[in-house]
Amino acid sequence: MTDYIRIKVRGYHLDQRGHLNNAGYIEFLEEARWVLFENYSADQFLSQHDLALTLVNININYRRPSFLNETLEIHTKVMRIGTTSCHIDQTIYLEGTNTVIADANNIFALMDNATNKAVAIEGKAREKLEQLANAL
């Protein structure tokens, strides 16, 4: 099971060709990740511990253009929590269908905000991410 949100494609999301701009996909994917973290209070946990999950790699496969007034479902799932990274997969579907608009593989590093350096995912941080992964 995955966590998901719905977003309607608006005119300001479109490029000159009339379809969703590639930057729009990135924004939609980020919005879905933020909602996931908020739904499970991961954003609060990270803030309280002066930590951040920082995107270090994203690979997006664009499968089909998206157009004005289409509603998209962005599904997000924590796939793997390693010793230093967390892998999150996302798929964008045309609402109510199995039509894949795009899919993305994201890799995050856990960062200590005080030192601005990556840290091991262990202890309470690992527990929080595992809680998030297992809740889906």
Q: How far is CA 42 from CA 4, 47, 49, 52, 68, in A?
A: 16, 8, 11, 10, 33
Q: Is 103 a catalytic residue?
A: no
Dihedral-angle region of residue 123 (phi above 0 means left; psi in -120 to 50 means alpha; beta otherwise): left
Q: Is 2 helix (H, G, I), strand (E, B) or coil?
A: coil
From 3, 15, 50, 103, the catalytic residue: 15
The angle formed by the CA atoms of residues 124, 127 and 129, to the nearest 5 degrees, is 110
CA 66 to chain centre: 19
- Looking at the annotation, which residues are catalytic? 15
